[in-house]
Each structure stands twice: as structure tokens, then as C-alpha cells.
Structure 1
Amino acid sequence: MASYVTQEGLNKMKVELEQLETIERPRITQQIAEARDKGDLSENAEYDAAKEAQGMLEMKISKLKDMIVNSKVINESLLDTSKVSILTTVRLKNNGTNKEQVFTLVPDNESDLKSGKISVNTPIAKGLLGKSVGETADVLLPNGNQLSFEVLEISL
């Protein structure tokens, strides 16, 4: 299944894959060789730990390769800022608190709440998708609370 990413997100995945394959993989191979040199493998905890770490690393590399192969880069030049969509930045007014908030809607693997990037699959983002400036989004949170946001501005 294809997952949508930004070019920046795809580049980060490629850098991580390169690090895992060129630095982490040889490091674990070296640890296995050193543990093997210590003798009896049946009672060698270091060897077992290194082999387990190798298995986890190979699984991570495989998953990352699959993600890269199945990624579709979002063409930001085709995005429409008349409605809230993925990669748009939305300035909102929380109608309950009268405070303004700014969120950028991003693919799942690029969300970072500290920098205001929320996944398009969060309840707030789902409630905002398709809304235009001046419209209100009523969002039901998983805890049962309801929030109401007015869309003040949409930008890239």
C-alpha cells in the first residue's frame, strides 16, 4: 500500500537507511565476530545479544526499504490552499478557549507535535480536512470531548 510523504520525509528515510546499512550493520557484525572469538557459543550471552540485535536491525532495514519503495512523494505545487488538505498549514481559533493555534497537516511518519506538525489521521486533522477559511470544524476526540475550531487561514 502506498504511503504519501514529503520529499523531506523521503530523504530522511533514505539517510536513516544509509546509516543502518553502512554503520549499524557492520558494527553488529563486528560484535558477533568478537563474541564468537570468545569460545563456546552455547553459553555466550554476548553472542546471543548481538545475534538478536542483528535480527532487529535487519527487520528495521527491511521495513524501511519497503516504506521507501512504497512511498509516493506529494507534489506541493499541485496543492490547493482554498481548503484544508495534507501539507497545508492551518491557523485556527479554538472556539472554546478563544486561543489561536497553528498546525501543519503531514503524513503519519512525519508528525511532530512540538513543531506543530500533526498527522492527517488525527481526529483534529480529520475534522479540518476539506474546510475553508471561515468554516467551523467540530471535532470529537477519543476521550469523548468535543472541540470546535474556526479556520482563520490556510497556507503552504
Structure 2
Amino acid sequence: MTEEKVYPMTEEGKEKIEQELEELKTVKRKEVVERIKVARSFGDLSENSEYESAKDEQAFIEGRISTLQHMLQNVEIIDSSKTKEGVVALGRTVKFKELPDRIEEEYIIVGKAESDPFEGKISNESPIAEALMGKKVGDKVSIETPGGAMDVEITAVD
């Protein structure tokens, strides 16, 4: 028997997934069914690109719904209050300066399912987060990333 994958995420991340699921089930699913009906009205389905496109979209939507439902059934809410204060952990915000440039960056460490670097949320499985986990303010860390190595100093953990 295989063990179910657990999806660590913040309460905010869980809410976003619930909203996306609701949107897919109540709006997108109905829209694609309507597109299929319209495409069918064009007649011959064997060379009907609108029909094929709508069926592909329907398959994508149903797959996404299934994925999101699975994630929500196996979610583990990140409770950063249970981690040691001032230590980089899931759910914590970490600020660090790249050395020697002193360029400061700030990220929230979240589960892979809700990571979005453009929103400042990085996966706990990313090279940066893996290198920073368990470290504290003042620690200097060398991080190996696909873009090359970088040295950083942790300046804050909230």
C-alpha cells in the first residue's frame, strides 16, 4: 500500500485552492459544456476543431478538479507557531542578503502546491529553501541553485 502524498500549505493557500476548485466546478465546467454543445451544432465532429478544442479543455478542467480535490483531501496546514521562533521553517518569512552585493530578498517558505516566486512564496523543496531550513538570523549560507552558487546572510525570520 502506498502512502498518500501530503500537501503542506498555509491557510491562505488552502483557501486559494478551494476558490479555484469552486470556480472550475461552478463556472468553467458549465462554460466548456456550452462550448461543446455549440461545436456539436456545427455538424460533422470528425473535422470540427472547435469541438476538439472544447473536449481538450474539458479534459483539462476535469483533471484539474481531480487534482485539487486530492490536494484538499491530503492538505496539512502549516502552523509556524509550532516551530522555534527565529528559525527558518515552513510558514516562516525569511529575509536574507546576497553576499557580497548585499541585495536583500524576502520569501515565505511554503509547500510546493502553493509556491509562487512572483508572489514571494518559495517551495520548501526549492534549493534556496532547502539550504535555509533550520538556519537562524546571522547565519551565512551557501546555496547551490540552477543559476549557480550564491552566498547569503539571513537578516530576519518572522
Q: TM-score range by the shorter chain?
A: 0.7 to 0.9
Q: CA deviation at 1:154?
A: 1.2
Residue 40 of structure 1: aligned partner: 44
Greater CA drift, 93-102 or 64-73: 93-102
Q: Is the Cα–Cα contact under 8 Å of residues 80 and 92 in structure 2 kept in the other structure?
A: no
Map residues 2-151 of structure 1 onto 2, 5 A cutoff: 2-143=6-147, 145-151=148-154
Which whole-Å deviations, capped at 9, do the CAs of 1:22-56 have from their partners, x for residues lacking one? 11111111111122223232333222222222112
Q: In 2, Cα distance between the equivalents of 1:35 and 1:113?
A: 39
Note closer, same or farther for the CA distance 1:43–1:122 as it changes in structure 2 (3 Å cut): closer
Which runs of at least 4 in structure 1 moved beyond 3 Å after TM superposition?
none
The alignment of Structure 1 onto Structure 2 pairs a total of residues equal to: 154
Calculate the TM-score normalised by the size of structure 2. Answer: 0.87
CA positional deviation for 1:15: 0.6
In percent, how many aligned pairs have the same letter?
36
CA displacement, residues 64-119 of structure 1 (integer Å, 9 cap, x when unaligned): 11111111111233232231111111222222212332222122232232332222
Measure, in 2, the Cα distance between the counterparts of 1:50 and 1:91: 45
Cα shift at 1:10: 0.6
Q: Report deviation, 1:11.
A: 0.6
More moved, 53-62 vs 105-114? 105-114
- Pick closer, same or farther for the CA change 1:41–1:95 going to 2, 3 Å: closer
Stretches of structure 1 that go unaligned for 5 or more consecutive residues are none
